Structure 1
Amino acid sequence: MIKGIISGLLLSLLALFLLGCGPKKVEEPITIAMNPWPGYELLYLAKQKGFFQQVGANIELVQVSTLSDAQRAYLTGYVDGFASTMIEAIQVAPLGGKPIKIVLLADYSDGGDVIIAPDAFENMQALRGETIGCEVSSLGIFVLERALRQHKMNIDDVKVINVEQGAAASALAIGKIAAMVTYPPYSVEIQSSGAYRQLFSTKEIPEEVLDTLSISSSVLAEHPQLVEQIRRAWQLAMDYMQQDPEEAMAIMAKREGLQVADFKGALADLKLLSGEDQRKLFAQNDKLIQLGYSVCETLVKIEAIESDCRHVDNLFYRAP
């Protein structure tokens, strides 16, 4: 019996020893919030095809509905980073969020962001005095201000209410709003009815709406290799899209809830930025900062934020 007890103790000790020599606790993933937008889908493609894992990055993509949701997820500490336009990234500091760095430049919106209204409205001037829906805390209000300015109007010439992207179609259908600032896949759904026309697109303000990926500065300090890993995975996804466009488009279109043809059409309204494109842009830090100040000053002007905009100087990641 004693031998049995000793044998049992030895087995228990051996089990504990083996557990102690086992693999270490898996490192927590870097979480990134991402809303539907064709330009961000290369991140999803990179995840689906294992490119993040291939470059040694443990990335978890957290799906949200809108740009505002992505920003809120970061501000509340739910995620380590978020995909957004430069507008939402610039707002983080004035809104009291933890410092971030823009580490990846996904695309320029070249017609992707639009203002849609019923056919009865023939142009932007026809919206004078009307109610326009947009995400007032993010990109929508910026695009609206720029569109009005392009057409010799300002924010005071219209009524603005907050309408989330998912509610845009019904708000237009019941006449709650006369127009909506929107983007794919939501804009594709609205326009599919044939009852609406496009009054403005970001083709009229080229290279002003820059889509980005931002990561917490503290997370980057803990993971100094992360930026290069993300950029490599992005390029691998872009290469895969060129090598096997049919499968790549099918994967990305499915997640956006679009037919492949519609997804391709939406993608055509963007200028996706390759790794080389991004290297050149990040090397032009002064150009990026100038664009950042222009965006920030517009947001201050329309009272979307209160800021002296100096935080823009340190917004873009620079390799140590």
Structure 2
Amino acid sequence: MIKEEQSMIKGIICLLVALLFAGCGQKKVEEPVTIAINPWPGYELLYLAKQKGFFEAAGANIELVQVSTLSDAQRAYLTGYVDGFASTMIEAIQVAPLGGKPIKIVLLADYSDGGDVIIAPGSIESMQALKGETIGCEVSSLGIFVLERALRLHDMQLDDVRVINVEQGAAASALGIGKIDAIVTYPPYSVEIQSSGEYRELFSTKEIPEEVLDTLSISSSVLAEHPQLVAQIHQAWQMAMDYLQQHPDDAIGIMAKREGLLAADFKAALADLKLLSREEQNKLFAQGDKLTQLGYSVCETLVKIEAIESDCGHVDELFYRAN
């Protein structure tokens, strides 16, 4: 009986050891890096990279989380729902003053070169005609920045107009019922509004070249856990850009469908931004002073219009630097 018990115990121990070593031999499933993205033609290259398997080919496990607006993308990060988010530099700069976990801008997707616009009914013929009128924009993000720059260029300031918060999805109806006299908007929302033929463009980011930079930011702690992630994202991004160049009809068709636009409208929207290749991004990242100077300029504008409270010192650490 004792021998039988000893044999049983020995068998159990052997089984536990076998299971232990079997477990050690199994590859741990890596959790995906989650990134929030709102509709914008430049960000669609990330979805193209995901659909075509370019992230996987580059060795990155990326999950893209769809949200509606830039503000939503930023909120998703601030609340810890995602590891990173696509946005303009404006929303990235706001993270630290808003108490968010440290981030790094790791990808420079594009410059808005006419994509962000101010639209008003045809009866309003100029920016100056908006004096005293009500303008809708996302007051906590890009919208208020674009509006302030547009007004300043046309010899006005925010006090000369009435500003109310209008999310992009509500822009068309707000204009239609006369709740606002103009809207700060961008594709695909601007395409829908302008398709009626009842509105005119009063301002676009062509008037402020290279001031609105679209980016991808990721948590500093996540980057520390995944030291190869930035290189992998850049590789997948370039693969998507190459695919767009080599197979434009298929690529544009895929991206336009996701944005809810006709292929021709999406192609026109792409023409209003400058997509940045991996080589162009590397040159910009190497010019750290240029990026930091742009970051300070944006930050100081946000402080001036009371969108944030900050001494802007955090901008020095905002951009990713390869070791």
TM-score w.r.t. length of structure 1: 0.95
Give the aligned partner of residue 118 of structure 1: 121
- Is 1:159 equivalent to 2:162 in the alignment? yes
Distance in 2, Cα, partners of 1:21 & 1:289: 46
SS of corresponding position for 2:75: helix
SS of corresponding position for 2:320: coil
Of residues 172, 175, 178, the one that matches 1:172 is 175
Give the aligned partner of residue 289 of structure 1: 292
Give the aligned partner of residue 109 of structure 2: 106
One-letter code of the match for 1:291? L
- Is 1:268 equivalent to 2:271 in the alignment? yes
Give the aligned partner of residue 226 of structure 2: 223
Give CA-to-partner distance per residue, 1:194-222, whole Å, 9 cap, x none: 10000000000000000000000000011
- Is 1:202 equivalent to 2:200 in the alignment? no
Of residues 314, 317, 320, the one that matches 2:320 is 317
How far did residue 13 of structure 1 move?
A: 4.9
Distance in 2, Cα, partners of 1:19 & 1:170: 60
One-letter code of the match for 2:161? V
How far did residue 103 of structure 1 move?
A: 0.4
Distance in 1, Cα, partners of 2:27 & 2:234: 27
Give CA-to-partner distance per residue, 1:61-93, whole Å, 9 cap, x none: 000000000000000000000000000000000
Give the aligned partner of residue 52 of structure 1: 55
Of residues 127, 130, 134, the one that matches 1:127 is 130
SS of corresponding position for 1:187: helix
Give the aligned partner of residue 46 of structure 2: 43
Distance in 1, Cα, partners of 2:282 & 2:304: 31
Give the aligned partner of residue 80 of structure 1: 83
Distance in 2, Cα, partners of 1:213 & 1:103: 6
Distance in 1, Cα, partners of 2:171 & 2:25: 53
Of residues 112, 127, 137, the one that matches 2:140 is 137
Distance in 2, Cα, partners of 1:239 & 1:178: 41
SS of corresponding position for 2:63: strand
One-letter code of the match for 1:31? T
One-letter code of the match for 1:313? D
How far did residue 21 of structure 1 move?
A: 6.2
SS of corresponding position for 1:140: helix
One-letter code of the match for 1:184? P
Of residues 248, 256, 261, the one that matches 1:253 is 256
Distance in 2, Cα, partners of 1:279 & 1:94: 27
One-letter code of the match for 2:306? E
How far did residue 25 of structure 1 move?
A: 3.1
- Count of matched residue pairs: 313
Distance in 2, Cα, partners of 1:176 & 1:62: 31
**1:59-70 counterparts in 2 under 5 A?**
59-70=62-73
Give CA-to-partner distance per residue, 1:199-254, whole Å, 9 cap, x none: 00000000000000000000001111000000010001001111111110111111
Give the aligned partner of residue 244 of structure 2: 241
How far did residue 17 of structure 1 move?
A: 7.2
Give CA-to-partner distance per residue, 1:98-121, whole Å, 9 cap, x none: 000000000000000000000010
Give CA-to-partner distance per residue, 1:25-56, whole Å, 9 cap, x none: 31100000000000111100000000000010
Distance in 1, Cα, partners of 2:26 & 2:260: 39
Of residues 149, 152, 163, the one that matches 2:152 is 149
Which runs of 5 or more structure 2 residues have no equivalent in the other structure?
A: none
Distance in 1, Cα, partners of 2:264 & 2:245: 16
Distance in 1, Cα, partners of 2:29 & 2:164: 46
